Amino acid sequence: MVVASPNPIGSEKLIAVEVPIIDLAARGPKVAELIVKASQEYGFFKVINHGVPEDVIRKMEEESFNFFGKPDSEKKKAGPAQPFGYGCKNIGFNGDMGEVEYLLFNTNPHCISQRSETISNDPTKFSSAVSGYIQAVTDLACEILDLMAEGLWVQNTSVFSSLITHLDSDSVFRLNHYPPPLKDRDTSSSSSFQIHHQGNNIGFGEHSDPQILTILRSNDVGGLQICLGDGVWVPVPPDPTSFCVNVGDLLQAMTNGRFVSVRHRALTNSDKPRMSMAFFGAPPLHALITSPPEVVTPERPSLYRPFTWAEYKEITYSLRLGDSRLNLFKAC
Ligand code: GA4
């Protein structure tokens, strides 16, 4: 069912579409088919009965709230996020801004334990919560990627997942905190977030994720929206018990354009803080991004030229958040 929603930004159209929900308890060919369908139509779906233990999520969320609840001066000690660590409002290196503060990590265990020193008073507890969470969501991402390969009739079902389980995988983990805009009466506060109007602001602007697959979990506060193209946005209702799955640019390339890398954004909530945790599954820097033979046919020749993740990443970071990058890698 499609229902028009009351609060679009400017001339945009905001519509309520029920995003696909995949029940992983029923793993099998039917689920693989549903995942492929959702990845082709939206590049986005929710998973329930995902098998990630509740306490793994709870520990990560607790650590996250502890950190973002610290005074600004303390948080800044874990920054700047260039490229990893604490960042506030600045996104990337080319002037993008949002009403968000965040922690960015490379998923390499050494990077996590080193960063934890400036993030928490109990670095061992913090890094163990992060490592436990990353392990669990990496397993979930692999399971989904294997089902995707199966649903596409690709013989080597670990063709996508083996890239993110590689020892040199360049995966990233991100904790985002979107504080509600401060009301006029709060402007004496020492917080970095002193916005004088009320309502929704852009927390993290429109973009697609450059990696293979994103596994995102947020608290019970809405704000995530996905784009169906032509200025049509779909708000994703919050559900802390499920995970949102986004197809990234590399998976669009590796499926030869069968799957779409979803454009999405996050708005702040007018009165409650939103917290999200995102795992971005990526290959090693030197990995060559190509399509398995099953998705390249005479009727559907290669859409993109082979490229490495290092090449793609370099271009991504030289552009703005909302820029499209994959069309720069089209086959001639
Ligand atoms: C979007 C997905 C991930 O959050 C991220 C982001 C990265 C960053 O925040 O440093 C980027 C953005 C993301 C895409 C374009 C570039 C790079 C900010 C930016 C302007 C960590 C990632 O890998 O790409």
Residue identifier of the C-alpha nearest atom 7 of ligand 1: 92
274 has catalytic annotation: yes
Tokens at 184, concatenated: 């006029």
Helix residue ranges per DSSP H, the chain:
29-41, 54-68, 72-75, 109-119, 123-151, 161-165, 249-254, 309-318
What residues flank ligand 1, with Cβ below 6 Å? 91-92, 94, 96, 104, 172, 174, 207, 209-210, 280, 316-317, 321
| Core vs surface per residue 304-322: b (16+ CB within 10 A) or e | beebebeebbeebeeeebe
- Which candidate in 274, 305, 320, 325 is catalytic? 274
As a whole number of angstroms, the distance between CA 127 and CA 117 comes to 9
What are the residues facing 288 on neighbouring strands?
308
As a whole number of angstroms, the distance between CA 17 and CA 262 comes to 15
Between the CA of 55 and the centroid of ligand 1 the distance, in Å, is: 28
> Of ligand 1's atoms, which has the minimum distance to the CA of residue 81?
10
Structural domains of the chain sorted by starting position, each given as residue range(s) with its CATH number in brackets:
21-181+199-329 (2.60.120.330)
pLDDT in tens, the chain (332 residues): 344 444 556 678 999 899 999 999 988 899 999 999 999 999 999 999 999 999 999 999 999 999 999 999 999 999 988 889 999 999 999 999 999 999 999 999 888 988 899 999 999 999 999 999 999 999 999 999 999 999 999 999 999 999 999 999 999 999 999 998 776 545 445 566 654 445 579 999 999 999 999 999 999 999 999 999 888 999 999 999 999 999 999 999 999 999 999 999 999 987 889 999 999 999 999 999 999 999 999 999 999 999 999 999 999 999 999 999 999 999 97
Between the CA of 57 and the centroid of ligand 1 the distance, in Å, is: 23
Phi first, then psi: what are they for 98, rounded to 5°? -160, 160
Between the CA of 289 and the centroid of ligand 1 the distance, in Å, is: 19
Q: Tell me whether 0.95 is exceeded by the ipTM.
A: yes
Between the CA of 92 and the centroid of ligand 1 the distance, in Å, is: 6
Give the global pTM.
Answer: 0.94
